[in-house]
A = this chain, B = another copy of it.
Amino acid sequence: MLTREENELLVRTGPGTPMGSFMRRYWVPALFSEALPEPDCAPVRVKLLGEKLVAFRDSSGRVGLFDERCPHRNASMFFGRNEENGLRCVYHGWKFDLEGNCVDMPSEPPESNFKRKVKIEAYPCVERGGIVWTYMGPPEQKPEVPDFQWAEVPASHRFATRHIQECNWFQAFEGGFDVSHLAFLHKGDTPDGGIRTLPKYYETATTDYGFVSGSGRDLEAGKTAWGANIMAVPFHKIIARPGDVPIGVHAWVPIDDENCMIYSIEYRPHRPLNDEEMEASREWRYIHAETEPGGDHCLRNLANDFMIDRELQKSGKSYTGLKGFGIQDCGIQESMGPISDRTREQLGTSDIHIIQLRKFMLKTLKDFMAGVTPPGLKADMYRVRSAAFVLEKGETFAKHAPERVRLDVPAMAK
């Protein structure tokens, strides 16, 4: 249970809000590279952290991301012409390059130097792992681009989708660290038949990029088996999955305070995904969710009750009657309302990871507001992935987990 003020701190990400200012210190996924398939192709609308923007790919193949509104008289740059290394507003022909400079202003007399005074708000972009990332914060504080393994592997090793979730980003983010729901919400839908036992231990180890979140189960002879999920600021997760399966990844990027874009990625560090691995994803059985053709809205959504199949739910073959992990998570999290009212919750011991996530974010935010340098500003901090390992009696998760999830340590060590 949170106070109203704490809840507001966590959920608001618009310009000038504490969480919004914090998130603007990081590189943020803005869109798939393939949405801008070639130089000088049509611009696309992007909404991030409450800001309306337009993305385009210039003649050199580089990506620009602008304020949607032309600084002249607010016309939308979405209708603009993507011409030789710049996007041109169609109202009066003002043209801007991807740094936001006005490079042509044909409506003014040739001798005018007005164009040198005019800039459009532009955010720098980079492309990594098939995604255009942008940095919306103070230029002088631009950090390194996070060095996620999934973004470094060849495209053949990776399968990525995105979809809109119609609720606040933090609701979805919390869902990613809610361990106990795995034994219920997704029951019947896991590859192993759906029985996922509850962990006995819930631990968290703070790191320089966020934290490692561990679920422990007793083995024989005082040994404990741990699954370790990664939480990387500001909204990333690398999922610990049992068995020899691809690594799963999520980023929950705020669109505005009542919608977020979920990027869902599966990858193999060292080989292409094979046909079997692709099948589950293509049938929307795992973390991905089917969207309407050409868009990011889920085919199964709040307006149609996520197409719940009550017969299937009744049969017990699926706990929910909802198709696929992705929609199960989406569905239950959206059902809490656009912004969940955390002042009326009742949390138990199995919610400890949720509590730890909130504490971490509130503490980090408070430090940030007090001037402390935020975590995760170096690229190599992100060279981690989820892991599963066994610890002997007397060994603590907090001591071992941060090392075990490093890329240079085998992922499933005994």
A residues with CB within 8 A of B: 40, 42, 69, 71-76, 78-79, 81, 90-93, 105-109, 112, 114, 117-118, 178, 180-181, 183-185, 198, 200, 305-306, 308, 310, 313-314, 319-320, 322, 328, 331-333, 335-337, 340-342, 344-351, 354
Contact = CB atoms under 8 A, between A and B. Distances in A.
19 contacts: A73-B354, A74-B340, A74-B341, A74-B345, A75-B335, A75-B336, A79-B305, A79-B306, A79-B308, A79-B331, A79-B332, A79-B335, A90-B185, A92-B181, A106-B184, A107-B198, A107-B348, A108-B350, A114-B348
Interface centre among A92, A340, A354 (most CB of B within 10 A): A92
A350 B73 CA distance: 12
Contact of A344 (B74, B91, B185, B335): B74
Contacts of A340: 73-74
A313 to B, nearest CB: 6
B75 A109 contact: no
Interface centre among A76, A306, A348 (most CB of B within 10 A): A348
Contacts of A319: 81, 90
Given A92-B184, A106-B184, A180-B107, A73 B336 contact: yes
B184 A332 contact: no
Given A308-B79, A320-B90, A349 B112 contact: yes
Contacts of A76: 332, 335-336
Contacts of A332: 75-76, 79, 90-91
B350 A92 contact: yes
A366 B36 CA distance: 50
Interface centre among A74, A181, A347 (most CB of B within 10 A): A74
Interface centre among A198, A305, A322, A350 (most CB of B within 10 A): A350
A336 B92 CA distance: 14
B108 A348 contact: yes
A117 B347 CA distance: 11
A321 to B, nearest CB: 8
A346 B107 CA distance: 13
A328 to B, nearest CB: 8
A107 B347 contact: no
The 9 closest A-B pairs by CB, nearest first: A76-B335, A74-B336, A93-B184, A107-B180, A42-B310, A107-B350, A90-B320, A108-B348, A91-B332
A303 to B, nearest CB: 13
A292 to B, nearest CB: 15
A315 B180 CA distance: 56
A109 B349 contact: yes
Contacts of A71: 344-346
A348 B112 contact: yes
Contact of A93 (B105, B183, B344): B183
A349 B108 contact: yes
A116 to B, nearest CB: 12
Interface centre among A109, A332, A337 (most CB of B within 10 A): A332
Given A79-B308, A332-B90, A118 B346 contact: yes
A167 B76 CA distance: 14
Nearest to A114: B348
Nearest to A179: B107
A337 B81 contact: no
B320 A183 contact: no
A351 B206 CA distance: 57
A336 B69 contact: yes
